[in-house]
């Protein structure tokens, strides 16, 4: 009912007549089950060039984002709407499909992954369910492939990970046995996928409110080992989810606290540099941090490792010992509130004391920093401490 949405649908129907465009997929699914709708995707019988003309004729912006595959993005009130011509697959190699355009809604539905995603709704909100089971699957929390599971997976092996991701977000009870069997059988086919596609799906799965059951099913089917051979699904993961840890902490506790191993896994998955470094810095911090440390010791660790790595390491230790929640929360609170102070002296201070620039300056500054940290970052007495390092007392 949003004005931008109505404007896009009206533009399409002005060109192709009533019923030529329908909402499709996740927006229909989420509307049915009362979940937030992020993206509004639209399917249409209009050909891509007709879609583009219709959008521009209505005074809206049209971007040919995937014209070869039938997709045009309309922009209304700065919001994007992905509009795709109905399609059927001509051929596929498990990664990319060659498609032909059609005006048959059932054909378009037949090439989609899961029945609850093969749902359409017209501009007035009337729902169309070509498989006959999509609405029921939505309401029952069933993730079931459209047609034969192996056929759908062979069309795109990423659907294996999508199956577990959708089960984590929308599934209830046990995973569909036929789908699970197909995922187990065809898991080796995921080697054809790009690392970026795999890591994107994995992180979306880990972001689910409670991915524990889906991850257990994924491990049991041999899919987790195929995706991340270093991963160990253990009570650490169970505890991290129960404690509300974010997706990166959940990924962290799947991996051993070994910086070299973590960097190798992150590089293979082609995770963003910031993500790779966060995982690696946390692994480096784990041995230096324990839940029994005093506030003074914690401030020293925060200074050396930074608040993010410190907090991630604390969460890992908390997952290892869930009964120590009060100690973990104390350290996490300290990490949120303590501000790392800058080193209060520098090379100019040493120069004023007659120390020539060079290696000796670096040695003295490191010695000052070590003592300053050991004394819990005092705010005064810097000149005296520095003088003592430059001219230690005799005798």
Both 87 and 129 in one domain: the answer is yes
Task: Please report, for residues 112, 238, 345, the alpha-carbon distance to residue 131 in angstroms, rounded to integers and kept in the order given.
Answer: 10, 36, 72
Q: What is the pLDDT of residues 102-138, one digit of tens each?
A: 999 999 999 999 999 999 999 999 999 999 999 999 9
Are 255 and 221 part of one and the same domain? no
One domain for residues 240 and 212: no
Confidence (pLDDT) at 97: 64
Q: In the predicted model, is pLDDT for residue 283 greater than 90?
A: yes
287 belongs to a structural domain: yes
Considering 140, 175, 194, which residue would you say is the last residue of a domain? 140
The pLDDT value recorded for residue 368 is 95
Closest CA to 252 of 214, 206, 298: 206
pLDDT of residue 99: 78
Distance CA 32, CA 25 (A): 11
Show Cβ contacts of residue 217 under 8 Å, excluding neighbours closer than 6 positions.
164, 167, 175, 180
Radius of gyration of the chain (CA): 28
Residues 247 and 327 in one domain: yes
376 and 324 fall within a common domain: no
Can you tell me the mean pLDDT for 65-92?
Answer: 88
> How confident is the prediction for the chain on average, in pLDDT?
94
Answer yes or no: do 40 and 129 share one domain: yes
Q: What's the token pair of residue 15?
A: 């060109």
Give the three-state DSSP class for 211: coil
Residue 173 lies in a domain: yes
Cα dihedral sign for 112, 181, 220, 144?
positive
Asked if residue 59 belongs to a domain, the reply is: yes
Residues 12 and 94 in one domain: yes
89: pLDDT strictly greater than 90: no
Q: Are strands 21-24 and 120-121 parallel, antiparallel or unpaired?
A: antiparallel
Which tens digits make up the pLDDT trace of 8-66?
999 999 999 999 999 999 999 999 999 999 899 999 999 999 999 999 999 999 999 88
Q: Which of 340, 360, 302 lies closest to 386 in space, CA to CA?
A: 360
Edge-to-edge strand list for the sheet holding 41-44? 61-66, 71-76, 79-85, 41-44, 21-24, 120-121, 127-128
Is 236 a member of any domain?
Answer: yes
Q: Where are the beta strands (DSSP E) in the chain?
A: 21-24, 41-44, 61-66, 71-76, 79-85, 87-92, 97-101, 120-121, 127-128
The span from the CA of 153 to the CA of 181, in Å, is 11
Is 45 inside a domain boundary? yes
pLDDT given for residue 93 in this prediction: 59
pLDDT higher at 100 or 21: 21
Same domain for 268 and 192: no
Q: What is the pLDDT of residue 61?
A: 95
Output the pLDDT for position 95: 60
Q: Domain check: are 172 and 247 in the same one?
A: no
Q: Using one digit for the tens of pLDDT, what is the confidence trace for 168-190?
A: 999 999 999 999 999 999 999 99
Look at residue 1 in the predicted model and tell me its pLDDT. 87
Same domain, 172 and 256: no
Residue 395 within any structural domain of the chain: no
Query: Strand 79-85 relative to strand 41-44: parallel, antiparallel, unpaired?
Result: parallel
CA distance 145 to 70: 23
CB atoms within 10 A of CB 2: 12
Residue among 230, 227, 237 at smallest CA distance from 260: 230
In this structure, the answer to whether residues 18 and 116 fall within a common structural domain is yes
Question: pLDDT tens, 289-311?
Answer: 999 999 999 999 999 999 999 99
Structure tokens, 30: 């989420």
Assess whether pLDDT exceeds 90 at residue 323: yes
CATH number at residue 112: 3.30.460.10
Number of domains in the chain: 4
pLDDT at 69: 83
Pick the last residue of a domain from 122, 140, 158: 140
* 5 pLDDT higher than 80: yes
Residue 349 CB contacts under 8 Å (≥ 6 apart), including other chains: 382, 383, 386
Q: Is the pLDDT of residue 395 over 60?
A: no
Distance CA 385, CA 372 (A): 9
Residue ending a domain, among 299, 314, 340, is 340
Q: Is residue 335 part of a domain?
A: yes
Same domain, 73 and 166: no
Query: Which residues, including other chains, have CB under 8 Å from residue 375's CB and lie 6 or more apart?
Result: none
- Expressed as residue numbers, the domain containing 1 is 1-140
Measure Cα distances from 144 to 129, 159, 170, 314 in Å: 14, 11, 11, 39
């Amino acid at each position: 009912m949003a004005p931008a949405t109505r404007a896009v649908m009206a533009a399409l129907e002005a060109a192709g007549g009533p019923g030529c465009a329908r909402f499709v997929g996740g927006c229909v699914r989420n509307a049915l089950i009362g979940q937030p709708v992020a993206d509004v995707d639209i399917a249409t019988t209009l050909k891509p060039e007709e879609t583009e003309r219709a959008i521009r004729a209505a005074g809206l912006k049209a971007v040919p984002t995937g014209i070869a595959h039938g997709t045009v993005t309309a922009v209304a009130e700065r919001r994007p709407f992905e509009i795709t011509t109905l399609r059927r697959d001509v051929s596929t190699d498990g990664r990319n499909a060659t498609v032909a355009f059609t005006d048959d809604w059932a054909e378009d539905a037949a090439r989609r992954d899961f029945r609850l995603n093969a749902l359409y709704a017209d501009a007035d909100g009337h729902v169309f369910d070509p498989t006959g089971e999509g609405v029921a699957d939505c309401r029952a929390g069933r993730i079931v492939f459209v047609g034969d599971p192996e056929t759908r997976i062979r069309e795109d092996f990423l659907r294996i990970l999508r199956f577990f991701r959708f089960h984590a977000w929308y599934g209830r009870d046990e995973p569909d046995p036929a789908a699970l069997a197909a995922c187990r059988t065809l898991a080796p086919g995921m080697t054809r996928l790009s690392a970026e596609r795999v890591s994107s799906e994995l992180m979306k799965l880990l972001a689910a409110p409670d991915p524990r059951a889906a991850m257990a099913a994924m491990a049991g089917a041999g899919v987790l080992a195929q995706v991340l051979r270093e991963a160990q699904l253990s009570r650490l993961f169970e505890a991290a989810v129960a404690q509300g840890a974010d997706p990166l902490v959940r990924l962290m506790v799947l991996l051993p606290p070994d910086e070299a191993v973590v960097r190798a896994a992150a590089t293979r998955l082609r995770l963003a540099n910031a993500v790779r470094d966060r995982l690696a810095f946390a692994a480096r911090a784990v041995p230096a941090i324990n839940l029994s440390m005093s506030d003074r010791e914690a401030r020293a660790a925060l200074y050396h490792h930074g608040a993010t790595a410190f907090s991630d390491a604390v969460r890992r230790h908390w997952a290892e010992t869930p009964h120590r929640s009060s100690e973990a929360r104390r350290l996490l609170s300290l990490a949120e509130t303590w501000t790392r102070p800058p080193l209060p002296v520098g090379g100019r201070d040493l120069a004023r004391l007659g120390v020539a620039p060079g290696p000796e300056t670096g040695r003295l500054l490191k010695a000052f920093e070590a003592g300053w940290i050991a004394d819990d970052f005092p705010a005064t007495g810097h000149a005296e401490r520095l003088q003592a390092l430059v001219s230690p007392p005799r005798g």
